[in-house]
Amino acid sequence: MRRTVSRFLAASLLLACLAVHAATRPRYGGTLRIELRVSPNSLDPADRNSAAYLTSLLFDELVGVSNDGSPAPRLARAWQHTDDFKHWRFSLRPGLKLDDGSPLTAGAVASALQTTAPDLRVKAAADDIVIDSDSPRPSLAAELALPRHAIAIRRPDGGFAASGPFRVASFQSGRHAELRANDFCWAGRPFLDTIQIDFNKNLREQALDFDLGKADAVEVSPDQIRRLAQDGRRVAASAPTDLLALAFDPHHAAAGDARLRQGIALAIDRAAIQSVLLQRQGEVSGALLPQWISGYAFLFPTAVDLTTARQLRNQVAAFAPLTLAYDPSDPLSRAIAERIAVNARDINVAVQPVANGTADMSLVRVALDSPSGAGALANVAASLDLGAVAAPTAPDQLYASERDLLAPAQIIPLLHIPEAFVLGPRVRNWTEPPAGGFPLADVWVEGER
């Protein structure tokens, strides 16, 4: 009798272990529901009105980038270049297909790249992509890994064919998108069947829907990361990757004076903003790129210097109060704008925070979209209209390029802050890359509610 009971217990324990293993084993199927603040009205990765969060799920790049910032194979399995970096050749993977099962040809890839990179000469040569440039482009592979250079093939009806892990089932401009698994993705079918994304949801709405069980993943403001983690919530956060900066409008008379811009930069107490308003999340920075990417961000000064700031301000003629635009959907953005106004008052500069609209300066947040220094700097320059930058890959040359971009004091870096999401109990295998975004090909859900 004792032996029978022992066997029964052993069998029960085995079944229990198998059940736990089955519950944690990745499974195909299910729907993931996400809410975001962005409101994209385009699926074209080259369009500024699109969203990298969305396009990165649909379209693949010719070249990827690993977490350490080095180029990695994507649609191209290998590449080579001449010694002067003016001629590049990328070899495509064999058998690439679009989401309808049709071949993804070198000609289609070349045409897509020529649209997103008009300063290059792009052509197909058999199964290769040949790219020529009039000037050396040592960082071309890193630049082609940026989301805006993803390969989007336009269909005759005006839509786009997907080459990434998901395809478009429906898209309502600025409101909603439904994505379905792409069975023909070269990297394999993703686990999820469907992703539902609701756009134009402020953080308050997202938090409410999450608590009501209407969303599986929602955005989190950096200042809330610590509190949510202490409350036992699952928070996935990137490295300090998004640049938070002041962008001045040079067409406004007072803001067009470099001495005033430099004075305001020296008056801002970045350390207090990071410590108090961001609850010690992110990092103080006077650079466009964060320290973990460039290794030299500490060379750009961030300390408050009211003496020099007042001297610069006193060299500027009288002017009307300046306006500072912030994102009204983000309470943290407003708090930071108000703190900047207080700091500016210390040097006798009146600043009025305003919700969006035309202003002398704006508080902007820019996603770097790459852990590569060259790629990230090129993306920041394009996003902030600083002009094209053919950033070299050597650290000293990269530093020189960034220093030149910041010299006019048109952009005043303040901090680098993480991207973060709070995840519901069904979500499994969500890994936040250092540079942010959400690659969802390996995410799966534990059954439907």
**How do residues 70-115 score in pLDDT, each as one tens digit?**
889 999 999 999 999 999 999 999 999 999 999 999 999 999 999 9
pLDDT digit string, tens, across residues 205-238: 999 999 999 999 999 999 999 999 999 999 999 9
Question: In this structure, what are the phi and psi dihedrals at residue 176, rounded to the nearest 5 degrees?
Answer: -155, 150
Query: Rounded distance, CA 354 to CA 390, Å?
Result: 35
pLDDT at residue number 320: 86
pLDDT at residue number 379: 86
pLDDT digit string, tens, across residues 399-438: 999 999 999 899 999 999 999 999 999 999 998 887 777 7
pLDDT digit string, tens, across residues 290-337: 999 999 999 999 999 999 999 999 999 888 899 999 998 888 999 999
pLDDT digit string, tens, across residues 161-185: 989 999 999 999 999 999 999 999 9
Whether 202 and 36 have beta carbons less than 8 Å apart is answered as no
**Predicted structure pTM score:** 0.86
Long-range contacts of 224-230 (CB under 8 A, 24+ apart): 224/279, 224/420, 225/279, 225/281, 225/418, 225/420, 226/279, 226/280, 226/281, 227/279, 228/422
Whether 269 and 382 have beta carbons less than 8 Å apart is answered as no
Q: CA end-to-end span of the chain, whole Å?
A: 43
Domains and CATH numbers, the chain: 31-39+164-238+420-445 (3.40.190.10), 60-157 (3.90.76.10), 242-417 (3.10.105.10)
Question: In this structure, what are the phi and psi dihedrals at residue 256, rounded to the nearest 5 degrees?
Answer: -80, -5
The alpha carbon of residue 251 and the mean position of all alpha carbons in its chain are separated, in whole angstroms, by 29
pLDDT at residue number 14: 46
Joined together, the tokens standing for residue 146 give: 């940026």
Mean pLDDT value across the chain: 89
Q: What is the maximal distance between C-alpha atoms in the chain?
A: 99
Query: Which among 4, 53, 24 has a CA at the least distance from the CA of 446?
Result: 24
> Could you tell me how many residues make up the chain?
449
